[in-house]
Structure 1
Amino acid sequence: MVRAMAIEETGGPENIKLIDVPVGDPGRGEIRIRHEAIGLNYIDTYFRTGLYKSKMPLVLGMEAAGVVEAVGDGVTHLKPGDRAAYAAQPPGAYAEARVMPAAQVCPMPDGVSFEQAAALMLQGMTVEYLFHRVVPIAKGDRVLFHAAAGGVGQIACAWAKSEGIELIGTASTDDKCAIAAKAGAAHTINYSTEDFVARVKEITGGEGVGVVMDGVGKDTFDRSLDCLRPVGMMISFGNASGPVPPVNLLDLASRGSLQLTRTTLFTFLADHDRCQAMAKHLFDKLLAGDIEATIGQRYPLEDAAEAHRALEARETVGSTVFTL
């Protein structure tokens, strides 16, 4: 038996409870991994609230790093004793150990710590696919990125800077704008005090950006379309402020034949080879010093409810990890 943080019904952070769960041996295509650090991500709140449906009871969490204890038949890229990390479905990371599918678990190179990997896997591979696997983005291109001081945002700022991409980052306070600028944003906009559409047009000489990356959702979606140049791409990848209402496709036409996609990381990770390549790209960026694992908060695993509350109240900066 191992300790785990789970919900028996959807609702607020107070529904997260400490339970004991059995951990058996891995079957074919599975591993058993003992966690050393666990990542907190906004997607965890979607499962907790019921926005994303799942069977109950549910151990939360999509990301962790640790040591492989056992492997099942057919697993060739990992062996017992390997240091490994993952961002993967199904949920179940908020536990001391678990048995899970092996295909999306990735070997960790020397020089990457468990906490770094737990802070980076989901957010970092999100940034990897946003910049490399949705629409071509080249050196000199302009990108608008919302919530640029958050965990994903800070990685995106650094990633863009390392590749010569002009990232315009938005945040809710001057302090958070400063964090985004330090991370690598070329320009920052405090959307609480500034009209971000007007500022984007000012920064781009009235042209607009080629790509918007929006993990906020409902509160920023519609006006973000006005930040795009003709035939620009809107990448909606999260719902931090709530899901985006239905979109009239004619609005995309009238605003300049805009492109729109709603992406999710796990589509890109579903292919084993692509997942491993994305993780290697991420670790290479980290080891080269192009990006950092900015851990703003650490909580004991049993304080998962408080961590969820802080995340939803926008009190966190950078990544949050659970310690064991």
Structure 2
Amino acid sequence: MTHAIVVDRIGGPDVLQWRPVERRALEPGEIRVRQEAIGLNFIDVYFRNGTYKAPQMPFVPGKEGAGVVIELGPEVADLRLGDRVTYCGVDGAYAEEIILPSAQALALPDEIDCRTAAAMMLKGMTAEYLLRRTFEVGPGHTVLIHAAAGGVGLIAGQWAKHLGARVIGTAGSPEKCALALDHGYDHVIDYRKEDFVAVVSELTGGAKCDVVYDSVGKDTFPSSLDCLKRRGLFVSFGQSSGKIEGFDIGILNQKGSLYLTRPNLNGYTATRAELQASAQALFEVVRSGAVKIRINQTFPLAEAAKAHETLEARGTTGASILTV
């Protein structure tokens, strides 16, 4: 037997139950990993509360983690017992042990420990596709990133600056604004005190932004569209404040022939080659020091309910992890 966080019904943090679970035999191409750390992400909340449909009931939440290979299934040739690996986009991370398809496991560079990997894979690979493939950020671009002091926000701010962009962010307190400014942002707007649309216009001399990255949703839409220059791109990749509802596509025409996309990580890492390329780009910027991973909150895995309460109350900054 091993232990995991199990969800039997949709609901609040209280539905996250720590309990024993059976260890099943490995199938061909699978490995068993003893986890050291697991990433905490808002997508975990979405599956728990029913915003996203769970793959089945009951289920074990979580999408990223890192640990050590303790068992190899048949037909696994590229990994060995004792290898340190990480992963993201695989269901069932909130567990002491996880079974992974070996094709989803990524060998960890020596310079990156398991806690850092668990804190950065989903958020960092999200930042990678947003900045390098959804919109190819570079010198001369001005970008706006909402939730600048969050897990993705802190990584994306540093990475966008590394790519040569002018980086504007929004955050919900003076402390969060200061944190974002310490992580690559040129300007951070406290949206609780200032009209971010007006400030963006002022900062850019009315030129506005090439792209807006928004993981907030309802609270920042459609005002975010007013931060875009003509033919600019609005990238919605989350909805921490709620879904964008009643969207009239004609508004994109009215506000300057704008573009809008709603990507997710799976759309950019569907093949093994894409997965490895994204991970290697992340490993490279972290090892170089261009992007620093800040773990600001750590919770025992058994206390996942407390972790979700803190996350939903916007009581976290940077990355949070669950430890085994």
TM-score range normalised by the length of the shorter chain: over 0.9
Partner of 1:278: 278
What is the one-letter code of the residue matched to 1:173? S
Choose 98-107 or 117-126, whichever is displaced more: 98-107
SS across alignment from 1:79: coil
Amino acid at match of 1:286: V
Q: Match for 2:322: what amino acid?
A: F
What is the CA-CA distance between 1:53 and the residue it aligns to? 0.8
Q: Does 1:201 align with 2:201?
A: yes
The TM-score with structure 2 as length reference comes to: 0.97
Residues 85 and 118, structure 1, Cα contact 8 Å, conserved in 2: yes
Alpha-carbon distance, 1:76 to partner:
4.2
Query: 1 CA distance for matches of 2:80 and 2:237?
Result: 34
Alignment correspondent of 1:129:
129
Aligned position for 1:189:
189
Structure 2 residue 84 is the aligned partner of structure 1 residue 80:
no
Amino acid in the other structure paired with 2:79: L
Contiguous gaps of at least 5 residues in structure 1: none
In the aligned structure 1, how far is the partner of 2:76 from the partner of 2:264? 26
Say yes or no: does 1:141 pair with 2:130: no
Partner of residue 162, structure 1: 162
1:66-77 matched pairs, under 5 angstroms: 66-77=67-78
How many Å separate the matches in 2 of 1:205 and 1:116? 39
Gaps of 5+ in 2: none
Give the 5 Å matches for 1:1-324: 1-54=1-54, 55-89=56-90, 91-324=91-324
CA distance in structure 2 between the aligned counterparts of 1:136 and 1:124, rounded to whole angstroms = 16
- State the SS of the aligned residue for 1:306: helix
Give the CA deviation at 1:138: 1.5
**Quick check: 2:137–2:163 contact (8 Å CA) kept in 1?**
no
RMSD (Å), alpha carbons:
1.1
Query: 2: CA distance between counterparts of 1:75 and 1:259?
Result: 44
Deviation digits for residues 71-118 of structure 1, max 9, x if unmatched? 3344444332211101123x2111010212222221100010110000
TM-score using structure 1 length: 0.97
Q: How far apart, in 2, do the equivalents of 1:71 and 1:221 lie?
A: 47
Alpha carbons 1:25, 1:99 under 8 Å: kept = no
CA contact (8 A) 1:148 1:170 kept: yes
Q: Distance in 1 between matches of 2:311 and 2:78?
A: 34
Contact 1:212 / 1:235 at 8 angstroms: preserved in 2? yes
| Residue 252 (structure 1) shift | 0.3
Conserved in 1, the CA contact under 8 Å of 2:137 and 2:160? no
Query: What is the alpha-carbon distance in structure 2 between the residues aligned to residue 199 and residue 5 of structure 1?
Result: 43
Q: CA deviation at 1:12?
A: 0.3
What SS is found at the alignment partner of 1:243? coil
Give the C-alpha shift of residue 28 in structure 1: 2.2
Q: Deviations for 1:172-215, whole angstroms, at most 9, x for unmatched residues?
A: 11111000000110111000000000001111110110000000
Tell me how far apart the structure 2 counterparts of residues 246 and 85 of structure 1 sit (CA, whole Å).
Answer: 39
Q: Secondary structure at the match of 2:14?
A: helix
Describe the SS at the equivalent of 1:183: coil
What letter corresponds to residue 57 of structure 2 in structure 1? M
Contact 1:142/1:210 (8 A) holds in 2: yes
CA deviation after TM superposition for structure 1 residue 60, in Å: 1.0
Residue type at the aligned position of 1:158: Q
The alignment of Structure 1 onto Structure 2 pairs a total of residues equal to 323
Identity of aligned residues (%): 47
Q: Following TM superposition, by how much is the alpha carbon of 1:140 offset from its aligned partner in structure 2, in angstroms?
A: 2.3
- The alignment partner of 2:182 has SS state of helix
